[in-house]
Amino acid sequence: MYITNNPVIAEIAQEAGVDRIWIDLETLGKEERQAGLNTVKSKHDIEDIKKIKPLLTTSELMVRVNPLNPNSESEISAVIEAGAQYVMLPMYRTAEDVARFLKYVNGRAKTILLLETIDAQRNLEDYVDFEGIDEIHIGLNDLHLDYKLKFMFELVANDTVSNIARTLKMHNIRFGFGGFARIGYGMLPAEVILTDHYAIGSEMAILSRGFCDANIVDDPMEIADIFKKGVMDIRKKEDEIRHYTPDQFKHNHLILQEKVNSIVANMRK
């Protein structure tokens, strides 16, 4: 998945093989939760959905709406009418929140829950069998803040993510978590994260700013080259990982834990 409201970049990403373009409408409470952090805070609007949707022939269009609020029903209807194929709900906490969201969508689009609170994790068994949930994405940014951790991939290293994944697989819910940069890049190398995705059965991830930050790279030809090579490298790595043995997955997870521990130790200095 790649977050953009730029039609040129959306078409480039689609051509390179990105499966899903993500329009991000979430603003409520985000600045306060992530104050001082170098996180993505998008400024997209519903008109962006109308611009992007007609361009997509192979990629799907996903829209993250705001957390539940008095205007949620109208917002969700508006994004579906504008062309959203997937609607993502952030910052939910209870089974009642999930039921309300599913009622508002009412089968008109596919649904994704963004599990990014401790309450959402704790209450998972209460709603995971609700009819109408298509996918759940584990949001490392806000979930690690809720846990008061220093680095979002601590949740992967300490097996919080794999424990959630185990429950989701038991209930046949398609899921993913976090994101990564290009192969060979990233403070925590993308290939190490990607391998852990396969180890726990994850089926989706976000291509992060470390993959391509369109706020820094503004030449469309350069962006196209980054996407084409970057996605191709990911697919090649996936072909390799599919043949890994349990011991290779275990070894990779140990590498991930060591690198995360080192990153966290340096952050505390």
Give the tens place of pLDDT for each residue, 60-93.
999 999 999 999 999 999 999 999 999 999 999 9
DSSP 54: G
Q: Minimal CA–CA distance to 210: which of 186, 191, 230, 226?
A: 186
Instruction: Give domain 2-267's CATH number out of 3.40.190.10, 3.20.20.60, 3.30.70.1230, 3.60.40.10.
Output: 3.20.20.60
Dihedral of CA 47/139/38/210: which sign?
negative
Cα 124 to the chain's mean position, in Å?
A: 18
Structure tokens at 65: 């709406």
Q: Is the pLDDT of residue 164 over 90?
A: yes
Q: Is the pLDDT of residue 35 over 70?
A: no
Distances (CA, A) of 238 to 135, 198, 241, 246: 21, 8, 5, 15
Q: How far is CA 63 from CA 79, 134, 181, 254, in A?
A: 7, 14, 21, 35
Cβ neighbours, 10 Å, residue 188: 23
Range in 2-6, 34-38, 93-97, 139-143 with the lowest mean pLDDT? 34-38
